[in-house]
Amino acid sequence: MSKIFVFGHQNPDTDAIASSYAYAYLAKKAYGLDTETVALGTPNEETAFALDYFGVTAPRIVESATAEGVTQVIMTDHNEFQQSISDIRDVEIYGVVDHHRVANFETANPLFMRLEPVGSASSIVYRSFKENGLEVPKDIAGLLLSGLISDTLLLKSPTTHMTDPKVAEELAAIAGVNLEEYGLSLLKAGTNLASKSADELIDIDAKTFELNGSKVRVAQVNTVDIAEVLERQSEIEVAIENAMETEGYSDFVLMITDIVNSNSEILALGTNTAKVEAAFDFVLDNNHAFLPGAVSRKKQVVPQLTESFGA
Protein backbone atom coordinates (compact mmCIF):
# COMPACT_ATOMS: atom_id res chain seq x y z
CA MET A 1 0.00 0.00 0.00
CA SER A 2 1.29 3.46 -0.89
CA LYS A 3 1.95 6.12 1.71
CA ILE A 4 -0.90 8.31 2.89
CA PHE A 5 -0.22 11.85 4.12
CA VAL A 6 -2.23 12.96 7.16
CA PHE A 7 -2.40 16.69 7.80
CA GLY A 8 -4.42 19.52 9.28
CA HIS A 9 -5.10 22.87 7.63
CA GLN A 10 -2.69 25.56 6.46
CA ASN A 11 -1.28 27.77 9.24
CA PRO A 12 -1.74 24.80 11.57
CA ASP A 13 -2.95 25.43 15.10
CA THR A 14 -2.62 23.01 18.00
CA ASP A 15 -5.74 21.02 17.10
CA ALA A 16 -4.60 20.62 13.48
CA ILE A 17 -1.21 19.26 14.51
CA ALA A 18 -2.53 17.13 17.38
CA SER A 19 -5.41 15.54 15.48
CA SER A 20 -3.29 14.70 12.43
CA TYR A 21 -0.45 13.28 14.52
CA ALA A 22 -2.80 11.15 16.60
CA TYR A 23 -4.95 10.00 13.68
CA ALA A 24 -1.90 8.94 11.66
CA TYR A 25 -0.88 6.75 14.62
CA LEU A 26 -4.39 5.33 14.98
CA ALA A 27 -4.77 4.62 11.26
CA LYS A 28 -1.47 2.78 11.23
CA LYS A 29 -2.18 0.70 14.34
CA ALA A 30 -5.90 0.03 13.91
CA TYR A 31 -6.34 0.00 10.12
CA GLY A 32 -2.89 -1.00 8.88
CA LEU A 33 -2.43 2.09 6.74
CA ASP A 34 1.01 3.40 5.80
CA THR A 35 0.54 6.92 7.15
CA GLU A 36 2.85 9.87 7.70
CA THR A 37 1.92 13.01 9.61
CA VAL A 38 2.95 16.16 7.78
CA ALA A 39 2.21 19.82 8.37
CA LEU A 40 1.16 22.57 5.96
CA GLY A 41 3.05 25.25 7.87
CA THR A 42 5.20 25.95 10.89
CA PRO A 43 3.55 25.26 14.27
CA ASN A 44 2.80 28.39 16.30
CA GLU A 45 4.25 29.05 19.75
CA GLU A 46 1.32 27.47 21.56
CA THR A 47 1.67 24.29 19.52
CA ALA A 48 5.44 24.31 19.94
CA PHE A 49 4.89 24.47 23.70
CA ALA A 50 2.68 21.35 23.59
CA LEU A 51 5.09 19.45 21.34
CA ASP A 52 8.03 20.27 23.59
CA TYR A 53 6.10 19.51 26.79
CA PHE A 54 5.22 16.01 25.63
CA GLY A 55 8.48 15.33 23.80
CA VAL A 56 7.04 15.10 20.29
CA THR A 57 8.99 16.15 17.22
CA ALA A 58 7.08 18.54 14.99
CA PRO A 59 5.90 16.97 11.70
CA ARG A 60 7.89 17.92 8.63
CA ILE A 61 6.40 20.66 6.47
CA VAL A 62 5.27 19.88 2.93
CA GLU A 63 3.71 21.99 0.20
CA SER A 64 2.67 19.26 -2.24
CA ALA A 65 1.67 15.62 -1.98
CA THR A 66 2.15 14.65 -5.62
CA ALA A 67 5.66 16.10 -5.66
CA GLU A 68 6.58 13.33 -3.24
CA GLY A 69 4.70 10.62 -5.08
CA VAL A 70 1.81 10.60 -2.59
CA THR A 71 -1.62 10.17 -4.17
CA GLN A 72 -3.84 9.66 -1.09
CA VAL A 73 -4.39 11.96 1.88
CA ILE A 74 -6.37 12.17 5.10
CA MET A 75 -7.51 15.63 6.18
CA THR A 76 -8.04 16.51 9.83
CA ASP A 77 -9.48 19.69 11.37
CA HIS A 78 -10.58 21.02 7.97
CA ASN A 79 -12.36 20.09 4.77
CA GLU A 80 -12.43 23.27 2.69
CA PHE A 81 -10.03 22.95 -0.22
CA GLN A 82 -8.67 26.50 0.00
CA GLN A 83 -7.44 25.69 3.51
CA SER A 84 -5.70 22.49 2.44
CA ILE A 85 -2.59 21.30 0.65
CA SER A 86 -1.84 23.05 -2.66
CA ASP A 87 -2.64 20.03 -4.86
CA ILE A 88 -5.64 18.74 -2.93
CA ARG A 89 -7.67 18.49 -6.15
CA ASP A 90 -5.03 16.23 -7.69
CA VAL A 91 -5.03 13.54 -5.00
CA GLU A 92 -7.54 11.05 -3.63
CA ILE A 93 -9.01 12.05 -0.30
CA TYR A 94 -8.99 8.81 1.68
CA GLY A 95 -10.66 10.29 4.73
CA VAL A 96 -11.67 13.39 6.68
CA VAL A 97 -11.94 13.97 10.43
CA ASP A 98 -13.34 17.41 11.16
CA HIS A 99 -15.56 19.58 13.37
CA HIS A 100 -16.21 22.50 11.02
CA ARG A 101 -18.84 23.37 8.42
CA VAL A 102 -18.63 21.54 5.09
CA ALA A 103 -17.96 23.84 2.15
CA ASN A 104 -16.29 23.71 -1.27
CA PHE A 105 -15.91 19.97 -0.88
CA GLU A 106 -16.32 17.25 -3.48
CA THR A 107 -14.59 13.96 -4.27
CA ALA A 108 -14.52 11.57 -7.19
CA ASN A 109 -14.63 8.49 -4.95
CA PRO A 110 -16.33 7.46 -1.69
CA LEU A 111 -14.30 8.15 1.44
CA PHE A 112 -14.21 7.72 5.18
CA MET A 113 -15.65 10.95 6.55
CA ARG A 114 -16.32 11.73 10.20
CA LEU A 115 -17.76 15.11 11.08
CA GLU A 116 -19.02 16.03 14.54
CA PRO A 117 -20.08 19.39 16.03
CA VAL A 118 -17.71 19.05 18.98
CA GLY A 119 -15.05 21.35 20.39
CA SER A 120 -12.09 19.95 18.49
CA ALA A 121 -10.99 17.39 15.94
CA SER A 122 -8.86 16.00 18.75
CA SER A 123 -12.05 15.06 20.61
CA ILE A 124 -13.18 12.96 17.65
CA VAL A 125 -9.82 11.25 17.29
CA TYR A 126 -9.77 10.35 20.99
CA ARG A 127 -13.15 8.68 20.74
CA SER A 128 -11.90 6.78 17.68
CA PHE A 129 -9.11 5.36 19.83
CA LYS A 130 -11.67 4.17 22.37
CA GLU A 131 -13.96 2.72 19.71
CA ASN A 132 -11.07 0.70 18.29
CA GLY A 133 -9.94 -0.49 21.72
CA LEU A 134 -6.56 1.15 21.14
CA GLU A 135 -4.57 2.47 24.08
CA VAL A 136 -3.65 6.13 23.82
CA PRO A 137 0.08 6.72 24.44
CA LYS A 138 0.88 9.42 26.98
CA ASP A 139 2.41 11.81 24.47
CA ILE A 140 -0.54 11.49 22.09
CA ALA A 141 -2.99 11.98 24.96
CA GLY A 142 -1.12 15.17 25.83
CA LEU A 143 -1.33 16.47 22.28
CA LEU A 144 -5.03 15.62 21.96
CA LEU A 145 -5.70 17.35 25.27
CA SER A 146 -3.78 20.38 23.99
CA GLY A 147 -5.84 20.47 20.80
CA LEU A 148 -9.07 20.40 22.79
CA ILE A 149 -7.88 23.06 25.25
CA SER A 150 -6.70 25.31 22.43
CA ASP A 151 -9.88 25.14 20.36
CA THR A 152 -12.23 25.58 23.34
CA LEU A 153 -10.10 28.05 25.34
CA LEU A 154 -9.95 25.59 28.21
CA LEU A 155 -13.60 24.55 27.77
CA LYS A 156 -14.88 28.15 28.02
CA SER A 157 -15.71 28.70 24.34
CA PRO A 158 -19.27 28.28 23.05
CA THR A 159 -17.85 25.65 20.70
CA THR A 160 -17.37 23.36 23.71
CA HIS A 161 -19.62 20.32 23.35
CA MET A 162 -21.27 18.66 26.34
CA THR A 163 -19.00 15.64 25.82
CA ASP A 164 -15.75 17.63 25.78
CA PRO A 165 -15.23 18.10 29.55
CA LYS A 166 -15.20 14.33 30.06
CA VAL A 167 -12.82 13.89 27.14
CA ALA A 168 -10.53 16.53 28.64
CA GLU A 169 -10.65 14.89 32.06
CA GLU A 170 -9.76 11.46 30.66
CA LEU A 171 -6.97 12.80 28.46
CA ALA A 172 -5.47 14.81 31.33
CA ALA A 173 -5.37 11.65 33.44
CA ILE A 174 -3.61 9.68 30.70
CA ALA A 175 -1.18 12.54 30.00
CA GLY A 176 -0.46 12.95 33.71
CA VAL A 177 -1.20 16.67 33.93
CA ASN A 178 -3.51 18.93 35.92
CA LEU A 179 -6.11 20.13 33.43
CA GLU A 180 -6.41 23.72 34.69
CA GLU A 181 -2.72 24.30 35.36
CA TYR A 182 -1.51 22.82 32.10
CA GLY A 183 -4.34 24.46 30.15
CA LEU A 184 -3.49 27.94 31.37
CA SER A 185 0.21 27.41 30.64
CA LEU A 186 -0.59 26.24 27.11
CA LEU A 187 -2.89 29.18 26.33
CA LYS A 188 -0.45 31.73 27.76
CA ALA A 189 2.31 30.29 25.56
CA GLY A 190 0.29 31.41 22.55
CA THR A 191 -0.18 35.01 23.68
CA ASN A 192 3.43 36.17 23.27
CA LEU A 193 2.80 38.54 20.39
CA ALA A 194 5.47 41.16 21.07
CA SER A 195 8.13 39.13 19.27
CA LYS A 196 5.94 38.71 16.18
CA SER A 197 6.16 40.98 13.17
CA ALA A 198 2.87 42.34 11.88
CA ASP A 199 3.05 39.91 8.95
CA GLU A 200 3.49 37.00 11.34
CA LEU A 201 0.80 38.22 13.70
CA ILE A 202 -1.95 38.29 11.06
CA ASP A 203 -0.96 34.83 9.86
CA ILE A 204 -0.67 32.98 13.20
CA ASP A 205 -4.15 31.51 12.93
CA ALA A 206 -5.82 32.55 9.69
CA LYS A 207 -8.23 30.85 7.31
CA THR A 208 -9.70 31.85 3.96
CA PHE A 209 -13.43 31.58 3.29
CA GLU A 210 -15.31 31.91 0.01
CA LEU A 211 -18.39 33.94 0.94
CA ASN A 212 -20.81 34.50 -1.93
CA GLY A 213 -18.01 35.15 -4.40
CA SER A 214 -15.83 37.12 -2.00
CA LYS A 215 -12.50 35.77 -0.80
CA VAL A 216 -12.46 36.66 2.90
CA ARG A 217 -9.50 36.08 5.20
CA VAL A 218 -10.45 35.65 8.86
CA ALA A 219 -7.56 35.63 11.34
CA GLN A 220 -7.46 35.34 15.12
CA VAL A 221 -4.85 36.14 17.74
CA ASN A 222 -5.15 35.42 21.44
CA THR A 223 -3.90 37.91 23.99
CA VAL A 224 -4.26 39.01 27.60
CA ASP A 225 -4.25 42.69 26.58
CA ILE A 226 -6.24 43.83 23.52
CA ALA A 227 -5.01 47.42 23.92
CA GLU A 228 -1.42 46.24 23.56
CA VAL A 229 -2.22 44.72 20.17
CA LEU A 230 -4.14 47.80 19.00
CA GLU A 231 -1.09 49.93 19.76
CA ARG A 232 0.37 48.28 16.67
CA GLN A 233 -2.68 48.97 14.51
CA SER A 234 -0.86 51.02 11.88
CA GLU A 235 1.73 48.36 11.10
CA ILE A 236 -0.91 45.61 11.31
CA GLU A 237 -3.05 47.43 8.75
CA VAL A 238 -0.09 47.76 6.39
CA ALA A 239 0.49 44.01 6.67
CA ILE A 240 -3.20 43.32 6.05
CA GLU A 241 -3.31 45.58 2.99
CA ASN A 242 -0.22 43.89 1.57
CA ALA A 243 -1.75 40.46 2.15
CA MET A 244 -5.00 41.53 0.47
CA GLU A 245 -3.16 42.80 -2.57
CA THR A 246 -0.86 39.78 -2.83
CA GLU A 247 -3.45 37.07 -2.19
CA GLY A 248 -6.51 38.72 -3.70
CA TYR A 249 -8.62 38.87 -0.54
CA SER A 250 -11.63 41.15 -0.86
CA ASP A 251 -11.75 41.54 2.91
CA PHE A 252 -9.61 40.81 5.95
CA VAL A 253 -11.12 40.37 9.41
CA LEU A 254 -8.76 40.13 12.38
CA MET A 255 -10.22 38.85 15.64
CA ILE A 256 -8.17 40.00 18.65
CA THR A 257 -9.34 37.79 21.51
CA ASP A 258 -8.87 38.43 25.23
CA ILE A 259 -8.59 34.91 26.67
CA VAL A 260 -8.95 36.16 30.26
CA ASN A 261 -12.16 38.16 29.89
CA SER A 262 -13.60 36.28 26.89
CA ASN A 263 -14.12 39.26 24.59
CA SER A 264 -12.76 40.28 21.21
CA GLU A 265 -11.97 43.36 19.18
CA ILE A 266 -12.65 43.08 15.46
CA LEU A 267 -10.30 44.87 13.06
CA ALA A 268 -11.65 44.84 9.51
CA LEU A 269 -10.40 46.16 6.16
CA GLY A 270 -11.67 45.59 2.65
CA THR A 271 -14.38 46.33 0.14
CA ASN A 272 -17.27 44.96 2.21
CA THR A 273 -16.84 46.56 5.62
CA ALA A 274 -20.52 47.48 5.63
CA LYS A 275 -21.32 43.77 5.53
CA VAL A 276 -18.91 43.16 8.39
CA GLU A 277 -20.70 45.84 10.41
CA ALA A 278 -24.07 44.31 9.58
CA ALA A 279 -22.84 40.87 10.58
CA PHE A 280 -22.13 41.97 14.13
CA ASP A 281 -24.51 44.90 14.44
CA PHE A 282 -21.75 47.34 15.30
CA VAL A 283 -20.06 50.35 13.72
CA LEU A 284 -16.36 50.24 12.95
CA ASP A 285 -14.48 53.18 14.42
CA ASN A 286 -11.02 53.62 12.95
CA ASN A 287 -11.52 50.18 11.34
CA HIS A 288 -12.21 48.31 14.58
CA ALA A 289 -15.03 47.60 17.04
CA PHE A 290 -15.57 45.69 20.29
CA LEU A 291 -17.42 42.36 20.18
CA PRO A 292 -18.35 41.34 23.75
CA GLY A 293 -18.39 37.67 24.65
CA ALA A 294 -16.90 36.57 21.33
CA VAL A 295 -14.05 34.06 21.47
CA SER A 296 -14.92 31.58 18.72
CA ARG A 297 -14.23 32.28 15.06
CA LYS A 298 -16.16 29.14 14.09
CA LYS A 299 -19.39 29.97 15.93
CA GLN A 300 -19.34 33.69 16.59
CA VAL A 301 -17.68 35.17 13.52
CA VAL A 302 -17.73 33.01 10.39
CA PRO A 303 -21.47 32.10 10.45
CA GLN A 304 -22.42 35.76 10.95
CA LEU A 305 -20.15 36.84 8.11
CA THR A 306 -21.50 34.07 5.88
CA GLU A 307 -25.07 35.25 6.44
CA SER A 308 -24.23 38.90 5.94
CA PHE A 309 -22.19 38.34 2.76
CA GLY A 310 -24.93 36.14 1.40
CA ALA A 311 -27.61 38.77 1.93
Indicate the pTM of the whole model: 0.85
E runs forming strands in the chain: 4-7, 35-39, 60-61, 72-76, 92-98, 112-115, 206-211, 214-223, 251-258, 263-270, 288-291
| 112-126 residue pLDDT tens | 999 999 999 999 999
| 81-139 residue pLDDT tens | 999 999 999 999 999 999 999 988 889 999 999 999 999 999 999 999 999 999 999 99
- Is 161 annotated to bind a ligand? Reply is no
H/E segment holding residue 227: helix 226-230
Residues 6+ apart with CB under 8 A from 47: 12, 13, 14, 17, 18, 58, 146, 150
Q: Do domains 4-191 and 198-309 have the same CATH topology?
A: no
- Is 9 annotated to bind a ligand? Reply is yes
Report domain 4-191's class. Answer: alpha beta
Compute the average pLDDT of residues 180-189.
94
- Is 99 annotated to bind a ligand? Reply is yes
Domains of the chain, residue spans: 4-191, 198-309
- Is 288 annotated to bind a ligand? Reply is no
- Is 90 annotated to bind a ligand? Reply is no
Q: Is 196 left (phi over 0), alpha (psi -120 to 50) or beta?
A: beta
CA 253 to chain centre: 16
Say what the pLDDT of residue 1 is.
Answer: 60
Give the span between the Cα atoms of 123 and 98, in whole angstroms. 10
The DSSP bridge partners found for residue 38 are: 60
Fold annotation for 198-309: Diaminopimelate Epimerase; Chain A, domain 1 (3.10.310)
The CB density around residue 103, as the number of other CB atoms within 10 Å, is 15
